[in-house]
Amino acid sequence: MKVVYDWLKEFVDVPVSAEELASRLALTGTNIGGVENGPHGAVIDAEVTSNRPDCLGHLGIAREVSAIYKTALKKLPSTTGKLEPAVGGDALQKVRVDIQAPELCGRFTARVIRGVKIQPSPQWLKERLEACGVASINNVVDVSNYVMLELGHPLHSFDYDKIRDQRIVVRRASAQEKTRTLDGVERVLDAGTAVVCDGDGSRVVGIGGIMGGADTEISFATKNVLIECAWFDPIAIRRAARALRLHTEASTRFGRGADPEMAGAASRRSAELILQVAGGELQNGAVDEYPGKQAARKIRVTRTEFLRVMGADVSDKELEATLGALGFAPVRIDDHRGAAGSLLAAWECAQPSWRADVEREIDLIEEIARIHGLDKFPPRLPAARAGAVRLPHFEAEARLRERLIGLGYREILTIPHVAEERDELFRPSGVAPARLANPLSEEAGVLRSTGTVSMAASLEWNLNHSQRNARLFEIGRQYRLVGEESVETRVLSIGATGEAREQGLYDGARDFTFADLKGDLDAIGMLAGGFRWEAKASDGGNHAEPEWLNPAKRGHIFLGKEDLGVAGQLSRRVADKLKLRQEVFLAELALGPFYCAYYGTKNARRYEPLPRFPAVERDFSLLLPEGVHFSAVAEAIRALAIREIAAVEAGDLFRGRNVPAGKYSLLARVKFQSHEGTLTDAQIGEFSAKIVAALTTQLGAQLRASV
């Protein structure tokens, strides 16, 4: 909203310069983009928030200035004095309005002016519109835009002679109904869109609250004008504007909730200006269909609650002056003594029609505080009345986050709305996407079915901005449809690309590999008792084979028998679609079972003193059939239940020369340690024999050598 400083002064006496006013407005919640000084004087660029449609006009901004500087708001400037109708003309007899959809159109006013002369607008009108970034068309159309910028309420002018039967019908559009709008485009309407029709209601002459129709537009041949000023339901306007991809100044104001009581004043103001700049005669009376009229809501604000929320006080005089200037008409209704004997008061306020966003006591407190100045309240913490309650799994999530940060990952937060074609790249087969009924944009039409969609996009963004090395994680949710029911699952998503180690004085740089990702996940798994890796999902697992991962560098992660998720390198096919030119590694884990296992592992922990006796390591060089993994070797060794086995690790893996076909060489390192005494060679030999026998019998292993 561009606010012309000289125009604003017609509504209120501004005691400061435009620059000072812009700074003060910014402190009260009206974001200011800047102040421009041009041929039309100072113009303030105000970025009005979606809950303040009243500030989309100079009158609304003037009301804010009036409250801030405690100056009276002037009456609406009149250009013709008293609005006198022509003798003998009767608009009530000449125009009929039928609102068939009152849930979409809560008010519709109409006035008729005969004998106008359509011509270019006078210079002052052109300059005002130009200062606000609006192009001049002709005097009557320019008046409609001028009043909208002045009072914040859109209105539209029809060529009265083109209205069939001089009858206006407001109804719901039929499915696939078509109309041609003022921009010359034929548009297909959705069922339920508010449309303005003429005659018997069969011809659409305007899309209610968005744009007029081409059939009844004002041209230089127009002699008689019908001024329409209405009020349309905000939700219906937003839905229709998005469906039509047609966002106008009118839809912006109606979509945020225009003031229904302003329709009459805007209609009168428009008639005044048309009589001044285009001449003509105003017909007697005005049509005003108002089925949506509502009584003003009463809102109570108390001194007690103000003190509790803000921690400080303002005087009764300032409180009443602020609320009065903003239009809330406060009436003091109650006085009582507080605990310390101080007088505590209460006020009953009437919600003004232009402030539909103010519904509760806390909203009134905010209005008082922002006008008074939030910087004037002392920074003070409220008194604690109850201890803070931690969220479920707070401890487990905190330990998980600490472990990931310690491993060199950075946490990110992303929105779960993604493009359906992106989600399809990572979505498991057989999973239905959770589509949004009212998406923010075409690129955010579904809720992500897996966190790896957002993680891949984050890595892509970093690489496209010349950040080659990235290790990221996100604790979020994935969304899926199971039948008709939507299911949210809390998941951990991990992504890494670039270097695992930077160039150092003694060591060269090394790229991140699948082994690095697996090692990091194993470090995380230690929090819950350790992960188990498998090449494929188990029967009935939650994860089918992911096609977006490289088949040679991927694995399923298990916690006991629970299939937590997958990890691996992004496949070349998907990487090419995302235009990723370096290797990317992704992982995703379901956090529900992980958290449960964390608390089980934590409760099972017992204090154990450090061993007083030395440890002994033995290496077993094994020939294993292809397809047998180290996890199976470690599980077979631990199944022997030898108390003295402290650790089982993989030392080396080799395929190639001197290794028979269909087999590979694996070095398994076993650490023995006792808390009762130093282990003897005989004991170590007995343990080793049991291990070799178990591996030979269960896994078909052959011992190449032992140390």
The per-residue pLDDT for 540 is 45
Residues 391-411 have a mean pLDDT of: 93
**Cβ atoms < 10 Å from Cβ of 619:** 15
Res 544 pLDDT > 70 = no
| Of 248, 254, 247, nearest in space to 232 by CA | 254
Band (pLDDT 50/70/90 cuts) for residue 337 is: low
What domains sit in the chain, N to C, each tagged with a CATH number?
A: 2-69 (3.30.56.10), 91-289 (3.50.40.10), 298-374 (3.30.56.10), 394-603 (3.30.930.10), 611-706 (3.30.70.380)
Res 560 pLDDT > 70 = yes
The per-residue pLDDT for 248 is 95
Comparing 288 with 629, which gets the higher pLDDT? Answer: 288
The per-residue pLDDT for 81 is 45
Cα–Cα distance, 630 to 618 (Å, whole number):
16
Cα–Cα distance, 530 to 528 (Å, whole number):
6
| Of 395, 595, 432, 580, nearest in space to 495 by CA | 580
Residues 221-235 have a mean pLDDT of: 96
| Of 513, 504, 534, nearest in space to 471 by CA | 513
Residue % of the chain over a pLDDT of 70: 94
Residues 31-39 have a mean pLDDT of: 90
Residues 668-680 have a mean pLDDT of: 93
Res 630 pLDDT > 80 = yes
- Which residue intervals of 104-228 are DSSP H helices? 123-131, 139-151
**Cβ atoms < 10 Å from Cβ of 26:** 14
The per-residue pLDDT for 707 is 36
The per-residue pLDDT for 651 is 86
Contacts of 14 (CB under 8 A, 6+ apart): 5, 8, 21, 65, 69, 71
Specify burial of residue 324 (Cβ count, 10 A radius: 0-12, 13-18, 19+). middle
**Cβ atoms < 10 Å from Cβ of 272:** 21
Band (pLDDT 50/70/90 cuts) for residue 579 is: very high
Which residues partner with 472 through β-bridges?
410, 495
Res 336 pLDDT > 80 = no
Kindly report whether the global pTM for this prediction surpasses the value 0.75: no
**Cα–Cα–Cα angle for 478, 480, 484, rounded to 5 degrees:** 150
Residues 69-94 have a mean pLDDT of: 65
Identify the helix (H) or strand (E) that includes residue 2.
strand 2-4
The per-residue pLDDT for 343 is 55
Band (pLDDT 50/70/90 cuts) for residue 387 is: low
Residues 407-424 have a mean pLDDT of: 94
- Phi/psi of residue 463, each to 5°? -65, -40
Res 162 pLDDT > 70 = yes
Res 568 pLDDT > 50 = yes
Tokens 């496209």 — which residue? 464
From 123-132, 407-416, 435-444, the region with the lowest mean pLDDT: 435-444
Strand 281-282 versus strand 287-289 pairing type: unpaired
Cα–Cα distance, 357 to 349 (Å, whole number):
14
Q: What mean pLDDT, rounded, does the chain reach?
A: 90
Tokens 């002016």 — which residue? 113
